[in-house]
Amino acid sequence: MDNIIPTEKEQNIAFWDSVEKTDPVYTSEAEISGRKMTSIDAYFQIKNATREWGMYGTTWGLKDIDLKLEKMDDDTTICLYKAVFWYPGGRFEIHNSLIVKYKVVSKGYIKVDADFAKKIETNTITKSLSKLGFNTDIFIGKFEDPMYVKEVQTEFENDKVESYMDILEETKTYAELEKQFLKLPARMKIHKDVIALKDELKKTYENTKLSK
């Protein structure tokens, strides 16, 4: 069969499609202004980007950072953040903002966010990566559909099971099998397919030992 050459449109969207789906394990629920939101673990994103491009700050990241505080009134100050996000093959300017100081009207005191610099940098990385497709199933609202979340949860879990089973299959002795099995996450040690493979390999190693 002849190799099918992807169209230009398929090539353009290929990277996006490869990083769009999010493992629910690395998400958390938050409520902002009465609306439930799903957020992604920023370091999980950084790890995935590192897998695609290399170490942060070496082959991709933020540069030409311009951070300034702007006083809106006596009680309110915001942080305005501007930077250039760069990665293999491109770069673009990104803007962000964060409230640093504000008055909590219901309690009558001024609240200051001492971690604003860290928060806005992390959030800007997430926003930048989302423009390239990373975890966009969250940003376009797919995680509001319980059926979609269940589907991707199953998909990622199956991938993990397969990868751990591959590790067990690469063992050569029962002692090595036990060593690798003990390293597995707790939920994998009780997975039926993993247990079945371990029992099968154990019998193989025992039979091999008896035949010698």
**Could you read off the pLDDT of 131-152 as tens digits, one per residue?**
999 999 999 999 999 999 999 9
> To which residue do tokens 């353009």 refer?
12
State how far the Cα of 100 lies from the Cα of 71, in Å rounded to an integer: 10
State how far the Cα of 130 lies from the Cα of 126, in Å rounded to an integer: 6
pLDDT at 74: 87
Strands 35-40 and 61-71: unpaired
State how far the Cα of 134 lies from the Cα of 21, in Å rounded to an integer: 8
Q: Tell me: pLDDT of 7 over 90.
A: no
Q: Which of 13-17, 176-180, 208-212 has the lowest mean pLDDT?
A: 208-212
Mean pLDDT of 112-127: 95
State how far the Cα of 25 lies from the Cα of 135, in Å rounded to an integer: 13
Question: How confident is residue 104, by pLDDT bands cut at 50, 70 and 90?
Answer: confident
Helix (H) or strand (E) holding 125: helix 116-131
Helix (H) or strand (E) holding 82: strand 77-87
User: Going from the N-terminus, what domains does the chain have, and what CATH number goes with each?
Assistant: 11-139 (3.30.390.80), 153-211 (no CATH)
